[in-house]
Each structure stands twice: as C-alpha cells, then as structure tokens.
Amino acid sequence: MLVSAKTQDLLTRERTLLSDLQAFLELQGAPPETVEHARVALRTLDEAFLLVVVGEFNAGKSSFVNALLGASVLPEGVTPTTDRIYVLVHGEKPGQMEPTRDPFVSRLTYPLPSLEGVALVDTPGTNAIIRQHQALTEGFLPRADLLLFLTSADRPFTESERQFLSLAAKWGRSVIMVVNKADLLETPAQKEQVKEFVQAGARGVLGLTPPVVLISARQEQRGGDVGFAALRALLQARLSEGERMRLKFSSPLNTASELLNGEAQRSEAARTTLMEDQRFLQELEAQREHHRETMLGELDGQLNRVNRLLAEFEVRADKFIDDKLRFSNLRGLMNSRELEEQFRREAVADLPEAIDRQFGSMIDRFVESNMHFWEDVQAFLIRRQPSGEVARTRFSYDRASLLEGIAGSAKDHLENTTEQELARRLSKDAEEAMMGAMGGLAGGLIGGVSIGAIIGATALDFTGGILAGLALGSLGLFVLPNKRLQAHRQLREKITQLREALERIVRREYEREQERADARLNDAVSPYTRFTQQEQTRLQDAATRTADLQTRLNALKNEIQALA
C-alpha cells in the first residue's frame, strides 16, 4: 500500500509519540503491564490490521468465523473449544501454524484473498468457567483495531457482556455488534426488539450507537444468510484502504490515551498519598513534642514528691538538732558514734528507700511512656498503606521500603530494648552523675550504689560536719546555742544543695534519654522526608510531561480523524 507524504509524516510522529510515552512510563516506574501495553501499542503499527472477534463462550464465535470465511478453519463445539488466540492470515498453505512470541497466540494461514492485509482473530470465550480464557481475551483487547462483538439472540447483551464491552470502551476500540443465532427469532418484530435492546445497551456503555447486525452462522453455512450479506457489506466499507488506515492509526493512540489517563490517576493518587504522609510526619513530630512536654510535666510532679521527702527529712533533722544540742544532753554529745546512729534512725530514717522508690517510679513512668510512643509509631505506620491506584508502581515500592524502615526502627527498639534495660541505663547514668555532683559529701561510697544510698550517705555526713568540735572541754555558755543555730543553717544549705543537684541531674538524664529517642526517630524518618521532597519534584515534572504528551496526542488524533 502506497502512502502519501502526509500519511508517512503522521506515522513517523505517532511512532515518536508512542516511543516517548513508553520511555515516560518507564521513567515514572509505572506497573510492568502498563509499560508492556505501551510497547505493544508501538509494535502494532507494524502489524497487520487486526479484526478481532470477541464474545462469551457458546455464542458461536468459531462457527461465525468459519461462516464468515466460508471454510471450516476453526474447530466448533458446544463446550469452550478455543483455548488460545488464533490469528488467521492469508497464506498459500491451509492450516499452517506459525510460531509467535506469545505461547498462547497461534498464527494460522489459509488461502483466503479476502484476508489479505487483514488478520482475523478468534479469541477464547469470556464468562467461561476457565478464567484463563477470559484473561487471554482481555489481555489481547488493546491490540484490536476493530472489534466484532458477538452476542447471542437467545440471551442478548448479558451483564458479563456489558462489563466486557466497558473494557473495550476503556481502550477506545471501534465496535460492530453482531447478534448470532438470529434464526431463533421467529418474527421481524422479535428481531427488531432484540436489535433495539442491544443498541441501547451498547450505547449506554460506549456513549455512541455502534452498528448492530443480526446474523445466523448456521444458516450461512447451510446456504446463505441475509444478515451475513449485510455484515460483509459493512466490513467492506470499514476495511476500505482509507478507513482501515484511520483505524490502524487510531487504535494505538486510543491505547496511549488510556495509558496517559492511568498515569495521571496514579500521579494524583501519589500526590494525595504524599500529602497524607506529610500530615503523618507533622503528626509524628507533634506527637513527639507532646510526649516531651508530657514527660517534663510529669517530671515536675515527680520532683515535687522528691522535694517533699527532703522537706520531711529536714523537719526530722531540725527536731533532732533541737532535741540533741542541749546542755541536758552533754553526755550524749560526747559519743559521736552514738549520735550518728541516732541521727540515722530518727532523722534519716527511711529517706534512702523512699528516694529510691520515687526515683524508680520516675524511671518506670518515663520508660513506659517512651515504649508506648514507639508502639504508637509502629501501629500508625502499619495503617499507612498506599491506595490501589499506586499499587505495584515504583513509587509504591520505594515508599513502602522507607516506611518499613521507620517501622523496623520502632520494631527493633521495642524488641531489642527492654524496659529493664532502659531503666538500668537511666539509673546508672543518674547515679554516676550524682556521685560526681556530690563529690566528697558522699565520700566513702563506691560505684553501683543507688540514688537513695548516695543521698542517705550525704545526709549522714551532716553529723560529721555540723557536730564536729563538740568536746566537753570546749563547751561554754554560748557555744551550744550557736552550734545549734549553725547546725540549722548548714542543714538547710545541705538540703538545698541536695535538692538542686538531684533536680539538675534528673532533668539532664531525662533530656539525654529524650535526645537519644529523638535521634533514633530522626535517623529513621529522614530518608522518608527526603523521599517525599524528591517525589514532589518528580510529580511536578511528570505533570508537565503528561500535558505535553497529551497535547501531541490530541493533535495527532484530530489529524488522523480528518483522514476519514
């Protein structure tokens, strides 16, 4: 077939457009079958014109093809006989099978001059019990240049046929509706009723009214059928050189339209997903800040309880000083060891144990809140599944991998960091800091002791500093009252020092542990934050590229439509 310079220009531009579309889809990480559809659309420009027969099993497709060709080319039967796609082309040797790249597609030759330049395709029946048959037909549909949609007069235009026709409409295929077994309709009124019913159903799906032809393959094979004569006349017009060229050029462009629309939908779904993910990251940051503020607020309450314990100790110590530093107790003041033991029993009392319990409660609460935070992070990430529109795209796989990384960090933290371990680390760090802060005040203690023990030792050391020098020979009339005032003053100084050191150290340890948790979360989230920024840039570029491809596609469609 000779083509004009204008036609050759259209063909060249269409090839370029389809090549660009394939490259674009590959760059965007579209699903593999989408990229394959683009590849096939480009390849079909070099194939023969494909006249594809589709319909439900037992609609008589094989009988119809044999009647149309006037020869018994395909097997016929009442059960699903077509288990593969047969592509019939003109050839000198009848029934010669030629290999194709698809194991489910067989190429058959038959000496039929009427097929020259056209390949007649028989497909497995849809709505059959063998689901693979329908999948084969649906997968071949985007390659069709013209569909002969076969339905049966005894059950015209069923729901499953409507669904399949919707798929044809999705790919923008041209359709001729063929109603077989018209010989079952006894009157012209019945035939007209069936024709109008099929026309209305097809119009509702396609948005236009396709030609509807009533035929009887059985009558055609037995001697002739007026419906077949009408169908052949219609096909002759549709398969004229100019119309065939228009359909051949239009089919890949209709496929390209569907692929571009699909990519636009995936891009929009990805934008929506990214917006939701950004909200999630903001919520995660707010949740982390709320966690910090909550813990600091609880810490103030916990420290107030510690301060009450120290205040109670102060009251007991004041009473001890007033009771013991008296002239009536001069004999007791002579025995410093006994005085220290009395101070331990009456003033210090259970202060070390109470401090340890309170400090343990603070650690337990912090650790519990920390673990719950990571559990919430993990649970939230599990719910962040992508929408169906972006499933099986590179965007979906990359996003899932990064979210799994964040979830994995939470999971590792929960599995590998026990509450006992966190508590032990916090306690150990605080005890070491307390020992360093109190210095010689807690002298004589070795590492590994509790906060309460350190505070208890510091409180006991009070007796050595304040009661020193109370020897009987040095006591005068004013010495003991002055010593008592000095003892009260030094007691307050020591308790203030204890309180400030304890609060400073506990707050520092809380802050240090929070910083460790923040760093762990930042390390996990940062790659995904970068991913969202990169994807937003990619989607903006993709929108520009999609608009350019759509403009070129529409221009080509308009020019090809003018060929008619």
Q: Which mean pLDDT values do the consecutive 10-residue runs of the chain (564 residues) have?
A: 75 94 93 92 89 82 83 63 76 77 80 77 70 74 90 86 88 91 90 92 87 91 88 88 89 94 90 84 82 81 86 87 72 73 85 81 76 72 59 69 66 55 57 52 46 63 53 47 78 82 78 78 79 88 94 93 76
Looking at the fold, whether 122 and 224 belong to one and the same domain comes out as yes
Q: Is residue 149 in some structural domain? A: yes
**290 is in which domain, residue-wise?**
268-529
25 part of a folded domain:
no
pLDDT at 255: 93
pLDDT value of position 347: 84
Q: For residues 70 and 189, state if they share a domain.
A: yes
Q: Is residue 561 part of a domain?
A: no
235 shares a domain with 276: no
Co-location of 275 and 396 in the same domain: yes
**Torsion 307-310-312-314 (CA) sign:** negative
CA proximity to 215, closest of 203, 226, 200: 226
The per-residue pLDDT for 353 is 85
28 domain-assigned: no
Contacts by residues 342-345 (CB-CB < 8 Å, ≥ 24 positions apart): 343/317, 343/460, 343/462, 343/463, 344/460
In a domain, 451, yes or no: yes
Q: Which residues of 150-177 are buried (b: 16+ CB within 10 A; e: fewer)?
A: bbbbeebbbeebeebbebbebbbbbbbb
Identify the pLDDT of residue 211.
93
What's the CATH code of the domain at 147? 3.40.50.300
Give the pLDDT confidence score for residue 257 in this predicted structure: 94
pTM above 0.85, yes or no: no
Number of domains in the chain: 2
Model pLDDT, residue 34 = 92
| Rounded CA separation 84/136 (Å) | 7
Question: Which of left, alpha, beta for 156 (phi over 0: left; psi -120 to 50: alpha)?
Answer: beta
Say if CB 115 and CB 89 are below 8 A apart.
yes
Contact assessment for residue 133 and residue 124, using Cβ atoms and an 8 Å cutoff = yes
Same domain, 380 and 319: yes
Per DSSP, the three-state class of 515 is helix
Question: Do 226 and 278 fall within a single domain?
Answer: no
Domain boundary among 195, 223, 239: 239
Ramachandran sector of residue 95 (left: φ over 0; alpha: ψ -120 to 50; beta: rest): left
179 membership: H or E segment, kind and range: strand 175-180
Tell me if 378 sits within 8 A of 503, measured CB to CB: no
Residues 426 and 490 in one domain: yes
Position 433 scores a pLDDT of 53
Is 20 inside a domain boundary? no
Buried b (16+ CB within 10 A) or exposed e, 67-91: bbbeeebbebeeeebbebbbbbbbb
How far is C-alpha 258 from the chain's CA centre? 24
Length of the chain: 564
User: Is residue 428 domain-shared with residue 354, that is, in the same domain?
Assistant: yes
Alpha-carbon distance 455 to 31, whole Å?
67
433 and 504 share one domain:
yes
Rounded Cα–Cα distance for residues 434 and 419 (Å): 22
Are residues 167 and 214 located together in one domain of the fold?
A: yes
Same domain, 395 and 321: yes
Sign of CA dihedral 236, 241, 245, 248: positive
Whether residues 388 and 311 share a domain: the answer is yes
